[in-house]
Structure 1
Amino acid sequence: MYESVVINLGARCNATCEHCCFSCSPSKKTSMEKSEIIELVKSFSNNLKIKVISFTGGEIFLNYSFLKELLEIVHSCGKKSTLISNGFWGANVEKVKIYFKDMKELGVTNLSISHDDFHAKFVKTDCIKNILEESRKYPSIRVVVNIAVSKSNMGNKVIEELDEAALGIPLTKYPLIAVGEAENMADSEFQKIYSIDNLEQLECPGYEPVYHFDGNVYPCCSPAVFDTALILNDRACQSFDKTIEKMNANLLLYIMRKEGFRWFIEIVMSNQEFSHIQIEEHFSSICTICRQLFKSEENIKLFTPYMREYYEQML
């Protein structure tokens, strides 16, 4: 069931975007120790259950020699890698050629580029064009562009500037959620396109263990989950098998998978002890609801008696 894992290498970035979910910047140094990262990557690469290892940040290409070292470890064990970047390195055409050649040789299957009105203040759209144009020579590497949008920043200018370079490239617009720096934005900026009245919109989109630079392990890669108490490890550098064991044994995650968020929302709306949790009728992502429900250990403790009752009825 779980064949992939994500490692968030650190908070250092060349940009200081006003919407950044991790509040990354050039001055941020929060990261796991390099030795810890290498040991994790070696462990994941040698785990027969894992097929894909994904790397994100911060900006992972800022220390390309270290990134390449990690990719070499993964490739040497016959595993695949995926990468997320803001594409700043597209400013140097020679680097773009070298990086794509390396990615092809080292088994990178996906490259996700984050570029929108927020990133464009720090990374010129021409950089992204250089990357997209070079990517056509490497059909085995799927390149996509993810565009974060708010009501005032819909990314249309960026798409227009990409022009023919974007032909054949998947471009995905997604609404911002109020985490990290985006919490400082006016509420009117968020496109709340989903409703709690629609049961199909109250399902968790999926699980993929994430080893975060704060030292914790989380059950998915949504930016919202890092602002919750949904932590799966009790020690640093926990093994993948132990993480999966904890995910499978976690009653909260089981109920979330089985019943969706509706089960938790109904409890919140029906019981006074949850009055401090204000569930919005309309929201920009189900992940924002997850964050509201499980933001603290105290919230999870309040759900515990109801989850225990659910478990006893299930038995």
Structure 2
Amino acid sequence: MLQKSLSLIITKKCTADCDICCFSCSPHVEDKMPLEDALNYIDQASQIQQFTAVGISGGEPFLYYNDLIEILKRCKSLNLGFSCSTNSFWAATIDNTRLFLKQLTDIGSLTLNLSIDEFHSKYIPFQNIKNVLKVAKEFSNLSILLGCVCTKTSKKLHDILEYLGDDIMGYYIASSPCLPVGNAETRIKPEDLFIFENSIDKKCSGLSHLVVMPDGSTYPCCYQGGFTPALYLGSAKELPLTEIIKNFNGNMYCRTLENHGVKWFVDKIHENNLPIKLKNGGYVGICDVCHTLFHDPEYLKYYEPFLDIEMYNIIQRELEKDAVMGG
């Protein structure tokens, strides 16, 4: 699978301390990607044909607004698409909202992904979101996507829509279940999580991103459950992105997830009585399964013998194809 998007988590610092945050971000966390590193990664991505866009997330990227402006300018100059996630803390007034959005859209087209749910609303008033939705209609090169994370006991999408009223007209909003990772692992009760019975049978669809964390560590998945030792691809501070991509292609966890999904690993655990703890009550989704399988580095040694066999089988299949092609 080709990574089409470079995702930069430029900070874990945030104005909020949400119970659902997968990175456990808060005002007290100081992790930040140096601007020169971010620009370097973008420059490298522009030289790799498969990359078409850059996404900025956190934490709260707007805390480092000057960096954000420079990143957007660099993306624009290199013809890379650009998106950014935000909780909209900066949109307390219409005038302030218009000032920020005009500065951004004067540089180029962009997509803003807004977080709007019960958990963020403890820190960011819904009025801030309404301000963004109202002002965004003034800019033809600005797209807005809204995301609402829910638990069984939290406010749902229909509750959120009541707060937004007519301002939501013309925008896309999606609801997703809370995953038990990061803060949610300890702050959200297991009985409050949505459980989906067919989670194990699904294949992974999230391996189309290259994510770089503030410290330079890289992963092939931008979903909350994917930041695990098994999927670690190396440090972008030490390796060029071209080598990171080679690491992805040589990572048997990534290849097996891509080819077979999480069920391959679950089956190996059951068939061989591996000492890996699975959940009895089901999973929130495939990302929850993935995180359960790979979050503990001690688990990896139990998978390795089976991955070696899978690698051998892949090589044999390729050799057979070459033999057929060679006539």
Tell me how far 1:250 sits from its aligned partner: 1.6
- What is the aligned counterpart of 1:186 among 189, 202, 205? 189
Query: Aligned AA for 1:79?
Result: L
- Contact persistence 1:80–1:107 (CA under 8 A): no
Equivalent residue, structure 2, for 1:7: 8
Query: Aligned AA for 1:302?
Result: Y
Secondary structure of the 1:29 match is coil
Q: For 1:70-219, list aligned pairs within 5 A.
A: 70-155=71-156, 156-184=158-186, 185-196=188-199, 199=201, 202-207=202-207, 208-219=209-220
- Contact persistence 1:51–1:79 (CA under 8 A): yes
User: In the aligned structure 2, how far is the partner of 1:82 from the partner of 1:292?
Assistant: 29
Secondary structure of the 1:282 match is coil
1:140/1:235 Cα in 2 relative to 1: closer, same or farther (>3 Å)? closer
Tell me how far 1:271 sits from its aligned partner: 1.6
Tell me how far 1:105 sits from its aligned partner: 2.9
Name the TM-score, length of structure 1 as normaliser. 0.92
Secondary structure of the 2:214 match is coil
Equivalent residue, structure 1, for 2:260: 259
Secondary structure of the 1:180 match is coil
CA deviation profile, 1:173-196 (whole Å, cap 9, x unmatched): 100011111011211110112425
Query: Aligned AA for 1:287?
Result: C
User: In the aligned structure 2, how far is the partner of 1:81 from the partner of 1:180?
Assistant: 26
Tell me how far 1:226 sits from its aligned partner: 2.0
Query: Aligned AA for 1:221?
Result: C
Tell me how far 1:86 sits from its aligned partner: 0.6
1:6/1:280 Cα in 2 relative to 1: closer, same or farther (>3 Å)? farther
Name the TM-score, length of structure 2 as normaliser. 0.89
User: In the aligned structure 2, how far is the partner of 1:141 from the partner of 1:286?
Assistant: 32
Secondary structure of the 1:144 match is strand
User: In the aligned structure 1, how far is the partner of 2:128 from the partner of 2:216?
Assistant: 32
Equivalent residue, structure 1, for 2:287: 287
1:286/1:150 Cα in 2 relative to 1: closer, same or farther (>3 Å)? same
User: In the aligned structure 2, how far is the partner of 1:9 from the partner of 1:295?
Assistant: 22
Secondary structure of the 1:90 match is coil
Tell me how far 1:298 sits from its aligned partner: 2.6
Tell me how far 1:134 sits from its aligned partner: 1.5
Alignment partner of 1:300 is 2:300: yes
Query: Aligned AA for 1:73?
Result: R
Query: Aligned AA for 1:301?
Result: K
Equivalent residue, structure 1, for 2:40: 39
1:281/1:264 Cα in 2 relative to 1: closer, same or farther (>3 Å)? farther
Secondary structure of the 1:152 match is coil
**% identical equivalent positions:** 24
Secondary structure of the 1:89 match is coil
Q: For 1:215-254, list aligned pairs within 5 A.
A: 215-234=216-235, 236=237, 238-254=239-255
Equivalent residue, structure 1, for 2:323: none
- Contact persistence 2:221–2:227 (CA under 8 A): no
Query: Aligned AA for 2:62?
Result: F
User: In the aligned structure 2, how far is the partner of 1:301 from the partner of 1:21?
Assistant: 26
User: In the aligned structure 2, how far is the partner of 1:235 from the partner of 1:169?
Assistant: 36
Gaps of 5+ in 2: 317-327
User: In the aligned structure 2, how far is the partner of 1:284 from the partner of 1:210?
Assistant: 23
Gaps of 5+ in 1: none
User: In the aligned structure 1, how far is the partner of 2:107 from the partner of 2:47?
Assistant: 16
- Contact persistence 2:110–2:141 (CA under 8 A): yes
- Contact persistence 1:4–1:50 (CA under 8 A): yes
Query: Aligned AA for 1:181?
Result: N
User: In the aligned structure 2, how far is the partner of 1:282 from the partner of 1:228?
Assistant: 23
User: In the aligned structure 1, how far is the partner of 2:238 from the partner of 2:112?
Assistant: 26
Aligned length: 311
